[in-house]
Structure 1
Amino acid sequence: MARGVRGSGGSAGGLEVLYLHQHFSTPAGATGTRSFAMARALAARGHAVTVACGRYAGAETGLDGPFRSGRREGRVGAFRVVEFAVSCGNAQGLAARAGAFARYAARASALALSRPWDVVVASSTPLSVALPALAARRARGTPFVFEIRDPWPELPRAMRVGSPPLWFAMDRLADAACRNAAAVVALSEGMAETAAAHGADPSSVSVVPNGADLDLFGPQIVPWRPEAARPHEPLAVYAGAHGRANGLDLLLRAAALLRAEGAPLRLLLVGEGSEKPRLMAEAAAAGLANLSFLDPLPKPRLAALLAGSQIGVQCLAPVPEFAEWTAPNKLMDYLAAGLPVVAALGGRAARLLADGPCGIATPPGHAPALAGTLAALAASPARRAALGAAARAQAVRRWDRRLLAARFCGVVEGAAATPGAARVPA
């Protein structure tokens, strides 16, 4: 099939795009929706897009039919979704997640080799998503875009998760992905530097950050507050994964300090992950009545919660590498919702919050600084309002997801036009 002309089921002028993201979700789910937004944008530009995903905890793929031979598929809006019966989630142990990554890579490789796609988009994490793209590149000469959402093995190595042999193997896979990709998309400048370190041509690397969904989050949303929140109690919300990398013990320590000071503030932790049962047990044992946990919320419900809250909280484990190598999507949700943000982070997030300013960064891992900042904001409605207005303004000015999606589409279209090896039968 010639580039620029679709195969069966498409129309002339568009591309056949295979978009590989194991953790894909529509906004009906409780996890990130970047791949949904980018696939929708590609389809709106006339391309035939197939998204291949697994069954991720908290995700909603938009499909509800039965699985046959371990897969189901159908249309979700303007694009096609193929969902494999491969379950994965943050609550799983390392071995179970590794097995899920391998099974998804195997099923996605078969799909990548099943037809002559014009371009493949491989969105990591997990890093194993590069395997199907590399297989299609080797067998058919199919160009691919490698998207780095979290740099692996840099982050696992920094957190001492895994072992040197595993990190070595992941290094080699990251090298292969970065060197063979027609284009690399990184979510931050720090991630772009890791791509170059793995051998990517710097001219092929584009930074396309996470964006803000200005329609889903914002002042137009009817607010909602959970029953645990008293009517006039300021709410400080953390919405995200409850894993080791998130460092949520810091929020428990801050809650204890706030309780001791009598600060009228409730910390609300929304999400799931392997650390959540332990965190809940420790909060209960410590009698932290000013801290509540909620299950993951669908994006529309989360938008209502943020509309009814007063502060967004960003937290990661105090790992120095997190300063430039992470780009949490929850931060974009807070900004779009017009919430002032308190982040126990340095680096990129701290610089972002200084713009406006739209929030306050505290030293990573420093509970007294975090508690003091939260207490001060809880006592100052005028300052919260000013920071929140600046947050929404920055979201509109810099992070509108529609504008970033257009940039992403340009990278994919450019990759499809990249001269490469001739197509050969699979």
Structure 2
Amino acid sequence: MRILYLHQHYSGPGGATATRSHAMARALTAAGHSVTIACGQYAGAVTGLAGPFRHGRREGVVRGVKLVEFAIPCGNHQGFARRTAAFGRFAAAASRLALAEPWDLVVASSTPLTVAIPALVAHRLRGTPFLFEIRDPWPELPRAMKAAPALALAAMEPLATAACRRAAGVVALSEGMAETALARGADPARVRVVPNGCDLDLFGPHIAPWRPPGAAMWEVLAVYAGAHGRANGLDQLLDAAALLQRQGERRLRLLLVGEGSEKPRLQQAAVARGLANVTFLDSLPKQRLAALLAGAQVGVQCLAPVPEFAEWTAPNKLMDYLAAGLPVVANLSGRAARLLAEGHRDSPCGIATPPGDAAALAHALTWMADNPALRGRMGAAGRAQAVRRWDRRLLAADFVHAAEHAVGLVPAAEASLVAA
């Protein structure tokens, strides 16, 4: 079948951001389907296309997948108004593309939620079925974070409900996200959980290690690799670093890798507080990040202390840490905490601390420095869990089944449900 895959924030493997859509599109292509991805220009993303934009777009084929890239920059560094405008522009451009050809299926991957608009337009005007993928539940998550004006949240409500009810299939990244779709009236028989997975070839103990300049060979490197925005709550890491420094802990170095609206303020705060044990790095292409994780000793997962994050988030970075064989320190409850506690064969693969508790974070990091042998067992348990449960190739096959089920190519009994 001919599939239009809408993901405004798409990136190929050469970028510094998530590549889930790339993997799912490749899996759909390998299953015999023709896939066209439509995207914008997301900060940190690399589509693989080169050359000038003509009439606001450029296109080509990269690794067997056709890409249509619109000249619509977007990123967390932008303010709310600019990002909202970018969302609207992409929705308009993607709607024209969705109506331009006779697609058999539209995949609408949110966030942003506005990606559902072209899917709904094609469904209404052409009868095209669509698969709605929920990466973050909107407006539930922005409301919980108080990150959007009341008027914007009110506008999202009918759009989210329509997307869930009219979709031929809904794919959610966690069971908590799936529950938000069901609460909006999605057909339970058409809702499937396909979590984020691990790229076991890109990340792992087989990768040659790299440590950035200035990191002493004797230091335990604890890496946070991800967005530096409000939702990430990275002040907690600075607070933990300050506690470690006051305690005279000299073995640990926190590496904060990535970009985002909060990064300049965080850098200034680290300098003002004299935090010699914190290093900021720019976003790294995935291959370079894999080398950094291979040279590090701990992966750090951090989010703001928002209760809804417990079940409504599925961080890519956590999957990267597990694939790399790193023990994890996370300040999360819920799904991530359960995952770390389960580990593999009675060995946990990390430590979950209470959200918002910088002292507990500092204590967990100190434990990692104190216990290199147990730290190694945790990392091995994380890699084993990644191989057993989170191999992205297996999860991509479930995504393909969900897409084929949405158009009736496979019966419901054959469309597998993956528990998060």
Specify which of 179, 183, 197 is matched with residue 197 of structure 1.
183
Amino acid in the other structure paired with 2:234: L
The amino acid across from 1:410 in the alignment is H
Deviations 1:351-410 (A, max 9, x none): 000012100100001000000110111121101100000000000000000000000000
Answering whether residue 337 of structure 2 is matched by residue 360 of structure 1, we say: no
1:232 is displaced (CA, Å) by 1.0
CA–CA distance in structure 1, aligned partners of residues 70 and 214 of structure 2: 38
1:171 aligns with 2:171: no
Q: How far apart are residue 37 of structure 1 and its match?
A: 0.2
> Is residue 60 of structure 1 aligned with residue 41 of structure 2?
no
Q: 1:219 and 1:294 mapped to 2: Cα distance?
A: 22
1:17 and 2:3 aligned? yes
Of all paired residues, the percent bearing the same amino acid is 72
Contact 1:239 1:270 in 2 (8 A): yes
Name the CA distance, whole Å, in 2 between partners of 1:87 and 1:50. 20
Using the TM superposition, give the Cα deviation of residue 163 of structure 1 relative to its aligned residue in structure 2, in angstroms. Answer: 2.2
Equivalent residue number for residue 323 of structure 1: 310
From 209, 212, 217, the counterpart of 1:231: 217
Distance between the aligned counterparts of 1:237 and 1:71, measured in 2?
36
Are the equivalent residues in 2 in contact too, given 1:182–1:418 (CA < 8 A)? no
* Aligned 1:348-387 pairs, distance under 5 A: 348-356=335-343, 357-387=348-378
**Aligned CA-pair RMSD:** 0.9
Matched, 1:307 2:298: no
For 2:334, which of 335, 338, 347 is the aligned residue? 347
The one-letter amino acid of 2:92's match is A
* Aligned: 1:253 with 2:239: yes
Q: Which residue, 138, 142, 146 being the options, matches 1:156?
A: 142
What secondary structure, in the 3-state scheme, does the structure 2 residue paired with 1:113 have?
A: helix
**What is the TM-score with the length of structure 1 in the denominator?**
0.94
Query: What is the distance in 1 between the residues matched to 2:188 and 2:281?
Result: 43
Name the counterpart of 2:417. none
Among 381, 405, 409, which residue is 2:400 paired with?
Answer: 409
**Number of the residue aligned with 1:241:** 227
Q: Which runs of 5+ in 2 are unaligned?
A: 411-420
Is residue 199 of structure 2 the alignment partner of residue 213 of structure 1? yes
Amino acid at match of 1:268: L
Match of 2:264 among 271, 277, 298: 277
* 1:391-406 paired onto structure 2 within 5 Å: 391-406=382-397
Shift of 1:167: 1.1
Structure 1: any 5+ residue segments left out of the alignment? 1-14, 420-426
Q: In 1, distance between residues paired with 2:150 and 2:273?
A: 38
The code of the aligned residue for 1:63 comes to: L
Q: How is 1:58-207 mapped onto 2 (pairs within 5 angstroms)?
A: 58-207=44-193
Secondary structure of the residue aligned to 1:72 is strand
Counterpart of 1:32? 18
Give the Cα–Cα distance (whole angstroms) in 2 for the partners of residues 300 and 351 of structure 1.
29
Report the CA distance between 1:245 and its aligned residue: 0.3
Across the two proteins, how many residue pairs are aligned to each other?
Answer: 405
Aligned-partner SS, 2:100: coil
**What is the SS of the residue equivalent to 1:312?**
strand
Post-superposition CA distance 1:33-62 (Å, at most 9, x none): 000000000001111100000000100001
CA contact (8 A) 1:143 1:418 kept: no
Give the drift of 1:260: 1.1
Normalized against structure 2, the TM-score is what?
A: 0.96
The SS at the match of 1:52 is strand
